């Protein structure tokens, strides 16, 4: 399977607790066309955000009602979603537009669009909320977005076809799975440089490690 075929078969969903969005003190049976992964919350008042790859929208699904409560128009080819730790903002990669949409979670409106590398797929917010890391499968790099500036602060070359990522709990490293080169890239966030490349199995995509933030994958 080529990287484009792999991208075309996917969309992603991310879970967020509704109380975090509508209350003080806070951090997919939908009509979406191509969601393939979901997270479930132990709480009954959770929302699931679905990146609708083929309809260029973000569906908001209430798990209590099992219904779509909102649909937000975004960029072309939305692929993956990340929620900031405080629950205030969503970031969505638009794989066909080479952008990331920034969404106000409470208002459910797009507040900005950030141009990044080619073919963005997975993304993840750092645990301190200061950065969002994006895997750019088409340009073989990772874009680092500063959430306060709402701009790309660094672009780091990695392996071929980066397609999944995870951030260390202390935010010191980002690990990326490179789909086309069958490797894992390790990026030092303080220097914005790749410090190690580890050979792995054929076509690495999803990633997870205990205590880490990770990009949503299939």
Which tops the pLDDT comparison, 203 or 40?
Answer: 203
Residue 201 CB contacts under 8 Å (≥ 6 apart), including other chains = 182
State the chain's maximal CA–CA distance in angstroms. Answer: 47
pLDDT tens, 49-62?
A: 999 999 999 999 99
Domain count, the chain: 1
Q: Catalogue the E-assigned strands of 53-119.
A: 57-62, 67-73, 78-83, 89-94, 99-104, 109-115
Yes or no: say if 88 and 150 are a contact pair by the CB < 8 Å rule. no
CATH of the domain at 94: 2.130.10.10
pLDDT of residue 45: 55
CA proximity to 105, closest of 128, 121, 129, 122: 129
Beta bridge partners of 136: 120, 141
pLDDT tens, 147-189?
A: 999 999 999 999 999 999 999 989 999 999 999 999 999 999 9
pLDDT tens, 6-59?
A: 544 444 444 443 333 333 333 333 333 444 323 233 344 588 999 999 999 999
Beta bridge partners of 68: 61
Yes or no: say if 13 and 49 are a contact pair by the CB < 8 Å rule. yes
Q: For residue 213, what pLDDT band results from cuts at 50, 70 and 90?
A: low
H-helix or E-strand spanning residue 48: strand 46-52
Instruction: Find the domain containing 208 and state its range.
Output: 3-214
pLDDT tens, 80-101?
A: 999 998 889 999 999 999 999 9
Phi and psi (nearest 5°) for 166?
-145, 140
pLDDT tens, 115-136?
A: 999 999 999 999 899 999 999 9
pLDDT of residue 215: 54
């Amino acid at each position: 399977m080529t990287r484009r075929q792999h991208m075309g078969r996917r969309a992603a969903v991310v879970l967020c607790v509704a109380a975090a969005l509508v209350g003080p003190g806070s951090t997919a049976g939908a009509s979406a066309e191509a969601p393939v992964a979901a997270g479930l919350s132990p709480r009954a008042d959770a929302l699931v955000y679905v990146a609708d790859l083929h309809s260029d929208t973000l569906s908001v699904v209430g798990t209590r009602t099992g219904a779509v409560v909102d649909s937000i128009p975004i960029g072309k080819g939305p692929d993956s979603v990340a929620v900031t730790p405080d629950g205030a903002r969503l970031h969505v990669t638009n794989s066909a537009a080479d952008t990331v949409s920034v969404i106000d979670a409470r208002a459910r409106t797009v507040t900005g669009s950030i141009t990044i590398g080619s073919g963005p797929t997975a993304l993840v917010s750092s645990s301190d909320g200061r950065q969002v890391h994006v895997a750019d499968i088409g340009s073989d790099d990772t874009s680092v977005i500063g959430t306060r500036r709402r701009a790309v602060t660094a672009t780091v070359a990695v392996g071929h076809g980066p397609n999944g990522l995870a951030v260390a709990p202390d935010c010191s490293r980002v690990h990326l799975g490179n789909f086309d080169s069958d490797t894992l890239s390790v990026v030092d966030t303080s220097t914005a440089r790749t410090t190690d490349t580890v050979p792995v199995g054929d076509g690495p995509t999803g990633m997870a490690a205990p205590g880490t933030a990770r990009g949503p994958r299939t």
